[in-house]
Amino acid sequence: MAASFESSSHRRNWLRGKREILNSNAEDIIATSADEIRRLRLYFVEIIHTLGRALRLRQRVIATAVVFFKRFYLIRSFGEFDPRVTAPTMLFVAAKVEETDCRAQKFLNAIKENQRLSALYKGTDLTIDKILHFEFEVLEALEFDLIVFHPYRPVCMILDEVKQNKMLQMAWSITNDSYRTDLCLEYSPAKIAIAVIYLSLVLQKCSQVDRERYRK
């Protein structure tokens, strides 16, 4: 694992400009529309969250899976790769990366037992073999860059530094919500953490003095 974000493959290979992100999935956009692709991305991020919660996975595992999903579709097409297969596979790979025990059969069981997921996967042929086979496609597309740095740690460190630990719950929630956007593809975890904490300060209606103290 990279000793720091600055020397990591995350920083070196997976931070993109907004224009490049908007111009990804060009083939899909021609077939549908940019807005439809944006909705599709967001929908399957929600599916990853739903499946992750059904499996009782840690939030970090879910966040890593979301980052993998977003990276994958920067360079692959929704038309070529069914996101109903991609989403659980990303969660499966993320669980391995984050050293969480979760067998493929548990994923299939969770999908069958969850009303929302079972409706989505009704009539599809999602099997253990399909997940295991697609795992290799995922690893190749991600170029085996599997270490992901998240804003959670810098959020905790900064709040502790400015003695605003009372805001941790709100900051954590906003950090979770940030994965529903493309911030993880555009900015470093430290920059996201700073934005999260400042937004938390504003939403908590902290005084201008507190906000200025934090900015310094």
Alpha helices in 23-167, H assignment, sequence order: 26-31, 34-54, 59-75, 83-97, 104-113, 115-120, 128-141, 152-161
Look at residues 67, 65, 70, 62 and name the one whose alpha carbon lies nearest to residue 90: 65
The enclosing H or E element of 56 equals: none
CA angle 116, 119, 124 (to 5 degrees): 130
pLDDT for res 178:
94
Residue 207: pLDDT above 60? no
**Predicted local confidence at residue 203, as pLDDT:** 82
For the segment 162-166, the average pLDDT, to the nearest whole number, is 72
pLDDT digits (tens, 9 = 90+) for 172-197: 999 999 999 999 999 999 999 999 98
Rounded-to-integer distance, Cα 83 and Cα 90, Å: 10
Percent of the chain with pLDDT over 90: 47
**What average pLDDT does the chain have?**
87
pLDDT band of 30, cuts 50, 70, 90: confident
CB of 91 closer than 8 Å to CB of 21: no
Quote the pTM value: 0.89
